[in-house]
Structure 1
């Protein structure tokens, strides 16, 4: 068992949102998952009970707040409260996918900033640090008054593209201006040109691609996004790229939320393949390529626990 300082041992626990990822993280660290009971009362309330001591330990709760978001968020909060009341020395929330991240600002009057509310709730139950992957909005880090380590899947996508020889005659495409920084980092890593899709919002859940910024004619678009929910934005993006003379696109996204008509939209003939990470639990039977974030999260946990830099992983 690893120790930090004067006997501070590490403990890993998982909620029900993505246990296979938590188990893979534990294997990468050479540890086992802590024993805990996570279940529902008949009326839907969450019940948590730790089945081993965490007194004086450095505890890591691995729980993406994936759909059903509210259920998994409550699990995380209740687990953190259980750990705090069990006298853990430090509580770290490993949230590979941070739900409510798209509600990071007011877009109309009399709206909440729900991402800030969630950040407040996480801090209120005693969490000392958050580890996450590809936040939808970088300013969410500032919603917390505790350290937030945001990891990136860009390196995973770059390795996948290189290993599968998908970078020849390619152009990295950002689906909007908000993802331009991630796209820029991927394009620099692969030494490829960059293009951006200019969008305009025509409703609270509807966008339209106005035009393509950059040369994509005759090139293979490598579209990189953080979240794909219904897939409508991606479908409209690949249609705009095809109209501009691009080849079939490779679509990559860190978080596959995949609700509503997502599978239909991602089956568009202008899309050659779709790649996700496993921050949200997916299966190969869905027809997508899935990259594991387990080693990345494990290294972040290792570095945090041993007081080493996490920024080197980014």
Structure 2
């Protein structure tokens, strides 16, 4: 009989067992990916940690990432990826019409923004759209609160409807008790380099697990000290995934995430005179009226329109790529049919 207790600190619950055990082959056990490398990954299994071999990139099982649950055979080969509950997905950095999964099966995402400089509200909105779309619950964390001259909590709360916002200092220990009370299940940290993610992760883990470094004093930009996404059990229960700093966060199929991030604007838009109002200069625009009255900042409307256009552009690129792939398949079929007809004709 398989003992699943070693998997419990890594997120194994009765609900997970009920979902995944019926999907396993008789000779396989469930395992969770702790860290990915090229062609191999570190996993936690019912018998403890192991090194597993991943399928080839061109196999049906591809795109594995930290946080995935997989089916593992007796030779420590990953046989299948088990269904994801959530997935944090961005467009690839190259701008190609492809999505990159940053972390899987995440319940809570801590969007880290350093408070020791100007807080970038537009970046926070972008990250919120990414997280809402994933199915996880976002929490905006203003880090390095002990060095901030002013904490713009009200401004951040205004751009994060439905999400909790708080300020913490991992080095001073302030705000951590409130943050820990908000953590649920698997927690992922997202944010730019220099946001203090690894320092915060170490504080939550109560151990110096991840390397940290200082930021440049000139522009407050950090150095990449975390180079892998790695999953660790939290001493308070649940698991934590630290991620490398994100320079760019391209949206990928994030219409629902944008809608939730800008729910205040979409609620106003329902009262616009025209259903296809662009909230620019149309008569009877409820959003423009809210801007003019000071209810909604102009910056937020620009951000809403920008992210919406970017997402629509990416969706169009993705549709074209899929159509091109379909066309290529049909060209191959037609070519094969022509070859068969020629061969039949030559035999007559």
The structure carrying a bigger strand percent of its residues is 1
TM-score, normalising length: structure 2: 0.28
TM-score, normalising length: structure 1: 0.30
